[in-house]
Amino acid sequence: QSALTQPASVSGSPGQSITISCTGTSSDVGSYNVVSWYQQHPGKAPQLMIYEVTKRPSGVSNRFSGAKSGNTASLTISGLQAEDEADYYCGSYAGRVPFWVFGGGTKLTVL
Amino acid sequence: QITLKESGPTLVKPTQTLTLTCTFSGFSLTTGGVGVGWIRQPPGKALEWLAVIYWNDDKRYSPSLKSRLTITKDTSKNQVVLTMTHMDPVDTATYYCARSQWIELPDHFAPWGQGTRVTVSS
C-alpha cells in the first residue's frame, strides 16, 4: 500500500481538463511544499512534470499545473491531448523517516 | 545534457545479493545539493522509493528495506551502486536511478535512467 493515495484512474475527452488528487498526511504533503508529479508512458521511465507543488520544469507544457490544499496535492491537465494518456505518480518528502514517498499512481485515459 | 544509466544482472536467484550500478554524466556528485536515488517498479505496479545518496555522503533508506540495502558512490567514476541482499521473487521489478536535488529540502527526482529489469527466480 502506497503512502500517498491517488485515484486508480481518471478519464477525459480531448480538449477537456482533468484533475488528479494526491492525498497524504500532515507528516508529508501537509507539511512540506516539495510535492512532485511524474508522467510515465508504457514501457518508459517516469518524467518529471511538476515539482515543489506548482513549478514546471523547462520543456513541460503549461497545460500542466499543480496545487496543494492541506494534505492533498493535485495535478491539473488542461486541453487534454491524446499524448497525455499515461500513468501519473505524485511524490513527496515525508520527513526524516520515511524520507520519501510515492503515490499509487493514476492511469489517465483520453477518450 | 544529464543522463543516467542503470546496469546489473537481469536474473538473480532467491537469497542472492543484487548489485546495481548507476553511471551518470552531465553533473557531479561533489556539487552541493546533488544526489542520486534508486526507485523500483514491480510489473504493473507503482513506483517505490528505495534509497538516495547525496553529495555530502548523506544516505537515506526506505524503512521497510533498510536492513537489506546499501548505497555508495564513487565520484571519480560518476557511479552510484545499490546492493540489496536476500533477494526474493517479490523483488522482481524494473529498477531506476534518478538524479535528486536537495534545495531547501529533499526535492524531486529528474531525470531518470531508462531502468533495468531484474527478475528473481530459481
- Predicted confidence (pLDDT) per residue in A69-85, tens digit: 999 999 999 999 999 99
Q: Which residue has the cell 546496469?
A: B7
> What are the two backbone dihedrals, phi and then psi, of residue A84, each rounded to the nearest 5 degrees?
-80, -10
* Cα distance from N-terminal residue to C-terminal residue, chain A: 29
Say what the pLDDT of residue A97 is. Answer: 87
DSSP A5: B
Cross-chain residue pair B107–A52, CB shorter than 8 Å: yes
Assess whether pLDDT exceeds 90 at residue A2. Answer: no
Q: Are A56 and A50 in contact (CB under 8 A)?
A: yes
Closest Cβ opposite residue B107 in set A34, A97, A103 = A34
Give the pLDDT confidence score for residue B103 in this predicted structure: 86
Task: Determine whether the interchain pair B47/A97 forms a contact, defined as Cβ–Cβ distance below 8 Å.
Answer: no
> Is the Cα dihedral B65, B22, B47, A43 positive or negative?
negative
Q: What is the pLDDT of residues B43-65, one digit of tens each?
A: 999 999 999 999 999 999 999 99
Euclidean distance between CA atoms A14 and A12, whole angstroms:
7
Nearest-neighbour CA in chain A from B75: distance (Å): 24
Arithmetic mean of pLDDT, B9-22: 98
The average confidence (pLDDT) of chain A is: 96
Per-residue pLDDT, averaged over A100-104, amounts to 97
Q: Do B106 and A34 touch (CB under 8 A)?
A: yes
Give me the mean pLDDT over the B104-120 stretch: 96
pLDDT tops 70 at residue A1: no
Interface list for chain B against chain A, based on CB atoms closer than 8 Å: 37, 39, 46-49, 52, 60-63, 96, 98, 103, 105-115
Q: Which residues pair with A18 in a beta bridge?
A: A77
What's residue A82's pLDDT? 97
A chain contacts of residue B24, beta-carbon cutoff 8 Å: none
Contact A91 B47 (CB under 8 A): yes
Return phi, psi of residue B36, to 5°. -130, 130
Using one digit for the tens of pLDDT, what is the confidence trace for A3-19? 899 999 999 999 999 99
Across the range B20-30, mean pLDDT stands at: 97
| Mean of pLDDT values over A27-48 | 97
Taking an 8 Å cut-off on Cβ atoms, the answer to whether B52 and A52 are in contact is: no
